[in-house]
Each structure stands twice: as C-alpha cells, then as structure tokens.
Structure 1
Amino acid sequence: MNDSTGLTKDAGWELGVRRTVDAPVDEVWEYIVVDGVRTWLGDTKLGLHKGDAYETTDGTRGEIRSRTDELRLRITWQPDDWDHDSTFQITLTPAAGGTTIGFHHERLASEDERARMLEHWTGVMDRVVAELA
C-alpha cells in the first residue's frame, strides 16, 4: 500500500467496518456485552464499566473508556507485541430492518498496522454477523 487512506490529522491511522444485522438494538447490545465478548474481543473476564481493565488469553490488554448502553462501547486495545495502545469502539445504530454495527479502530501506528487490523476486524465482523443471524 502506498496511499494515505485511513491516515488522520491527529489520531494516527484508523479504520472502520460496518454491517447491518436483522436484530433489534437491545438484542445486539446484549450479545456485544455478554455472549459475544469472546467473539469480538477474545477469551477474557471483561468488566464492563468505565475504568475496568481486561486482558485476553492471547495477551491483548486495555480498559473500558466509556459505555453507553445500547449505543457505544469504547476501549483501549494493546496486543502484547505492540509498544503503544490504540482505541477501539463498537457503535450500534438503529437501521431499517435491524441494527448497524460499527467497529472503529484508531491511533494505529502505521499503514501496515492499519491493514492488519482491517483484516482482523473484517473477519471478526463476519463472525459476529454469523452468530447474530
């Protein structure tokens, strides 16, 4: 790659992945914060309140930055082989026929890191959508 797609003025590199599922917001939210945590985040005991820390079995760690029920969950994200953290956010939006799920990942260090994380989050979104179907 050699373009600036995803490069922000002051938040490094970023990406977004969105899909709409045929389920109401309250059901999708319940999935995101209960049954689907292992799918989108990994195997962890995740506290779901602002300030709660987490670490997955593969070493990714971070904390809950904000939570607005049935709307948004924002966390820091730092795999064990990164020397920096980043910010990951899930947003739910009512849509015709269901709910749009948005993944947004920012403060990525490079174009290559963005490309790797875009591939990762696209695969995660595919699994989330399949589980909600």
Structure 2
Amino acid sequence: MANNIGLTKDAGWQFGIRKTVATSLEKLWNIFFSDRGLSYWSEGVDRNFSTFKEYSHIRTKWRHRDFTEDANLQIRFIPSKNKDKTTVSIHVDKLKNENERELCKEYWSKVIEDLNKLLEI
C-alpha cells in the first residue's frame, strides 16, 4: 500500500508548515496584514475571512491559480513564552489530490522561507 502523505480520512489532502521568526507577535501580525504584507502572501486568498481573530489566527478560502476549487486555509500566530519570537503556522486542507498538495506545498513553503524578507523595512 502506498504511503499517501497528506491524505486524510475525511478532509481530502492537506498540507501544513510552520516557522518561528525573531519578532514579536504584534509586529509580525501588523506587517503580515498591512497592504505590503497582504501583497506578499495572499495570492488567491479570499480576503473576506470567515474567522479573523486579531493577534491569533485567520480562516478563509484559498485557491491556487491552477486549482478548480477552493481549499481551506488557516494561519495561526503563536508567541513564544518570552514574546520575542513568533511561530507562523499555515495549514491548508480540502485539497483534491496529491498534485494540488504539491502546488500548495510549493506556494506556502516559499512564503514561509521568505518570511524574514517581509520583516525587513
């Protein structure tokens, strides 16, 4: 039997990634949701967020330009205990197949990899 990494029992395919950066939750959140930040990461994102809990998390729909349907997107911001670092956690589910998962992985991995560039002012 094949090892289908990312295939769930009832939510289709999923992908998740996280990264910790050396900045406060408030600073990262404010930059992430600024016009500059949104232009950096939100291609294909429905900006009418179904959940928008300030300094915590968002939920919405996301569609890669090669998808035919929306996937679910969650982004969480988790402060470190001493508040000098913040972890960004991105999770996407309701992907239709392994190919969509791979496209999702490429897109969100690039966003996470380059997160420190967003923090440069």
1:116 matched to 2:103? The reply is yes
TM-score by length of 1: 0.77
Gaps of 5+ in 2: none
Counterpart CA distance in 2 for 1:76 and 1:87 is: 5
Match for residue 38 of structure 2? 37
CA distance in 2, matches of 1:125, 1:74: 17
The residue identity in structure 2 corresponding to 1:119 is E
| 2:5 alignment partner in structure 1 | 5
2-structure distance, mates of 1:130, 1:83: 31
Tell me the C-alpha RMSD between the 2 structures.
1.7
Contact 1:40 / 1:128 at 8 angstroms: preserved in 2? Answer: no
| 1:78/1:123 CA distance change after superposition, 3 Å | same
Select the residue among 66, 69, 81 that pairs with 2:54. Answer: 69
Q: Displacement, 1:84?
A: 1.5
Amino acid at match of 1:13: W
- Matched residue, 2:15: 15
Alpha-carbon distance in structure 1 between the residues aligned to 2:117 and 2:39: 14
Which structure has greater strand proportion? 1
> TM-score, length-normalised on structure 2?
0.84
In 2, Cα distance between the equivalents of 1:61 and 1:131? 18
Instruction: Judge conservation of contact 1:73–1:89 (CA < 8 Å) in 2.
Output: yes
Q: Which residue number corresponds to residue 55 of structure 1?
A: none
Report sequence identity in percent: 29
* Structure 2 SS opposite 1:36: helix
Per-residue displacement from partner, 1:6-26 (whole Å, max 9, x unpaired)? 111111111111110111111
The 8 Å contact of residues 24 and 79 in structure 2, kept in 1 or not, is answered as yes
Distance 1:84 1:66 in 2: 20
Deviation at 1:130, TM superposition (A): 2.5
Give the aligned length. Answer: 115
Runs of 4+ in 1 over 6 A off after TM superposition: none
